[in-house]
Amino acid sequence: MTKPNAGVLYVVATPIGNLGDITLRAIKVLGEVDLIACEDTRRTATLLTTHGIRKPMVSYFEHNELKRVPDLVERLKQGAAIALVSDAGTPAISDPGYRLVRAALDAGCRVVSVPGPSAMTAALSIAGLPTDRFCFEGFLPTRSAARKKALAALKHEPRTIVFFEAARRLPEVLAEMAEIFGADREAAIVREVSKIYEETIRGTLRDLAATGAQLKGEVTLIVAGAAESEIPASDASGLTVEALREAGMGLKQASDLIAQLTGRSRREVYQEALRKSARTSDPGGPEEE
């Protein structure tokens, strides 16, 4: 429950490139708060100066979160209004912020979103890949073995997948994706969004891995989800529609359960099971959907 005299933590999205992308509401909030907690005070100072804002700042980044959170929450409890910003984009999305947000809520303080730019949604909107369903994986592990393990777990993911990655690792990462996901899987590299040299490179994982382009900075990598034909109708423990039917469960009920376990569409699982049933000449015939 929010305490009546507690302050407010504003989670403020800031530009990911072009400083003009900041919202009018964000400018207003940053100009009215008592304190701004930011990842890099120098970068935030540039943004504030551009918009004629002068406010106290305190650094808040990955390696000092645990130290900063108690002090910031105490100020919130005393009624302060604090804005949380990251270097670019929306705080807490693959950036510091979650711990402060959670601690503020636990302390009964109000937390308000001031939405705006996000590299994830910006890249999705121009990648040319399905956006009706997608999942966000953030940064992959830096070590190859751990990265391959993470990618293997996503091999059958049917939704479009969004990654953040350092450009210097792209050739290696794309080669591993081509090996694990399949060389013909579609993907897009989006870099420098909203900046002068904004660029989107589209193609198969094979094509992108072979480009060898020496890109700079951080990029957003969008990878198409697995095709229906690539997805086994089973969950991680090996359950299948067929096994459930042999145990006495109806086709519809079995399809529903497998869909819930795998995150796939019930209709996709059901139709796949129907085709398999037809191929094996199920004497009972397919059930009505």
* pLDDT value at residue 139: 94
Residue where the block lists tokens 């190859």: 144
- Is the same domain home to 96 and 136? no
- Is the same domain home to 104 and 155? no
pLDDT bin (cut points 50, 70, 90) of residue 254 is confident
pLDDT bin (cut points 50, 70, 90) of residue 282 is very low
Which of 53, 82, 117 marks a domain boundary?
A: 117
- Residue 134 belongs to a domain: yes
Which of 70, 85, 117 marks a domain boundary?
A: 117
- Residue 41 belongs to a domain: yes
- Residue 288 belongs to a domain: no
For residue 220, pLDDT over 70 is answered with yes
* CA angle in degrees (0–180, nearest 5) for 104-106-111: 40
- Give the C-alpha separation, 255 to 269, whole Å: 6
Count of structural domains, the chain: 3
- Is the same domain home to 224 and 137? yes
- Is the same domain home to 152 and 138? yes
Q: What pLDDT digit, counting tens, does each position of 172-182 carry?
A: 999 999 999 99
- Residue 284 belongs to a domain: no
**Sign of the CA dihedral with 203 first, then 209, 211, and 212 last:** positive
- Is the same domain home to 21 and 96? yes
pLDDT bin (cut points 50, 70, 90) of residue 52 is very high
Owning domain of residue 151: 120-229
- Is the same domain home to 28 and 110? yes
Q: What is the CATH number of the domain that holds 54?
A: 3.40.1010.10
- Is the same domain home to 50 and 132? no
- Is the same domain home to 210 and 128? yes
- Is the same domain home to 220 and 142? yes
- Residue 125 belongs to a domain: yes
Q: What is the pTM of this model?
A: 0.77
* pLDDT value at residue 286: 44
pLDDT bin (cut points 50, 70, 90) of residue 241 is confident
- Is the same domain home to 196 and 238? no
- Residue 3 belongs to a domain: no
- Residue 286 belongs to a domain: no
* pLDDT value at residue 238: 56
- Is the same domain home to 253 and 158? no
Comparing 7-16, 109-118, 255-264, 279-288, the range with the smallest average pLDDT is 279-288
